[in-house]
Structure 1
Amino acid sequence: MMDSPPGVADLLGVLAYAELTAFLRFAEDATRHAPSLADQAALGGLAAAEYAHFQLLRDRIASLGVDPEEAMAPFVGPLDAWHAQTAPGDWLETLVKAYAGTGIALDFYREAATRVDDETRDLVEEVLADEGRSQFAVERVGAAIKEDPRQSGRLALWARRLVGEALSQGQQVALARPELALLLVSEGDDITRMFARLTEAHGRRMAALGLPSTP
């Protein structure tokens, strides 16, 4: 097994399972909610990118001498629970989840990636690449709100639910995996401040969607 900082296998494991589930959810939502073939193709393209990211992470985990399935196993419950609790009911909810919900989760992993070795950090940055998710969601949600401003209120409530569930699950993961938690905070920092930064980033995403971030 190659030497790596404590918590790296956890970080790669949670990120690998997040990418795998994102692939599965995007593919399912493309079939279930996309209103046109063009939208199906666009979301399917995002799904394909997520699967490619999963493969990179799986291979990196294996190169560390760790079984990828074992590395992902501790995170199956929390991530599956988040997806179950935030299943979108329609196309616009799918887009908000893909952008705002997934975005705050990716910020969580970026926080940890600042405190790992260069090779791992470069890989994490590669797999966290936006892949057009932002533009895809922002354009379509913006157009829908312009056409029917009443959508704004319900989508803002949906986004707040997404971030609340994401922060709750993230806190549970950090508490359950202390070595991963250590990657999330630096000296003089703490989990509370880290989650405050995630919330601020979420507010910026809400503004890009044209949605209020507070009631």
Structure 2
Amino acid sequence: MTSADDRAGGAATEPAGEGPGRPAVIALLGVLSYAELTGFDRLAEDARLAPTLDGRSALARMAAAEIGHHERLTARLRELGVDVAEAMRPYAAALDAFHDGTRASTWLEGLVKAYVGDGLATDFYREVAAFLPQPDRALVEEVLADTGHADFALREVRAAIIGDPTLAGRLALWARRLVGEALTQSQAVIAEHDELADLIIGGTGDLAGVAQLLQRLTTAHSARMQALGLNG
């Protein structure tokens, strides 16, 4: 069986946006575009919960990065001759449901969501991007690259827990809820959109490959929980 890197490397020879892989490219760019747009909305809203101006400024910069990523992705969709709104629309309900059901009520909840929830989503999209042809693979990987914002959330949450250890239990429960909701919505999106399911199955090779992908996501999530000082 070929490795994921071998399969991704083979896919890279296919002209961007052409051939049988085109629906999968459009699907991933569409869902990511909407994810970045909603990420901007949510971070801008959470910034108002910041206890300090420095914290508010940090989340505002995160929001600005999200909208910048959204613009990069939508520009690529237009290059492919795709209506941006039509590309995003199929994923709006599921992503809106996730954010509406996990709306942060405190500054720390917002940071945990940014670190744990967004981290899990980023890991998933990065895994799937490995199966895209170039230049779309490179674009998605660039959009998903860590810009240092995760470090800010990590420092803030860890400092808060050190100052008040009783926060750890509540934030751990919140993080587990975030992950549960994210996995539920992700499964629904994949089940409802064959092009994404085909991309994942085709890229991983078989169901065993999908299981390995999920295990990698779980391992990365556990590492984030431990970094925060929470029991994963």
> TM-score range, shorter-chain basis?
over 0.9
Q: Does 1:211 align with 2:227?
A: no
Match of 1:198 in 2: 217
Structure 1 stretches of 5 or more lacking a match? none
Q: Does 1:187 align with 2:205?
A: yes
Distance 1:191 1:178, change over 3 A: farther
**Deviant stretches of 4+, over 6 Å:** none
Q: Does 1:149 align with 2:168?
A: no
Q: 1:21 aligns with which of 11, 33, 38?
A: 38
Q: Secondary structure at the match of 1:89?
A: coil
Q: Distance in 2 between matches of 1:2 and 1:154?
A: 45
Q: Secondary structure at the match of 1:65?
A: coil
Match of 2:70 in 1: 54
Could you state the TM-score of these two structures normalised by the residue count of structure 2? 0.88
Q: Distance in 2 between matches of 1:133 and 1:203?
A: 19
Does the CA-based 8 Å contact 1:2-1:63 persist in structure 2? Answer: no
- Aligned identity (percent) is 52
Q: Distance in 1 between matches of 2:182 and 2:135?
A: 27
Cα offsets for 1:108-149 (capped at 9, x unmatched): 211210101120111001111222221111100010000000
Q: 2:127 aligns with which of 104, 111, 123?
A: 111
1:1-215 equivalence runs, <5 A: 2-3=17-18, 5=21, 6-31=23-48, 33-185=49-201, 186-188=204-206, 189-213=208-232
Does the CA-based 8 Å contact 1:113-1:183 persist in structure 2? Answer: no
Shift of 1:192: 4.1
Count the aligned residue pairs. Answer: 212
Q: Secondary structure at the match of 2:195?
A: helix
Structure 2 stretches of 5 or more lacking a match? 1-15
The structure with more radius of gyration: 2
RMSD of aligned C-alpha atoms? 1.4
Q: Distance in 2 between matches of 1:45 and 1:179?
A: 33
Q: Distance in 1 between matches of 2:188 and 2:81?
A: 26
Could you state the TM-score of these two structures normalised by the residue count of structure 1? 0.94
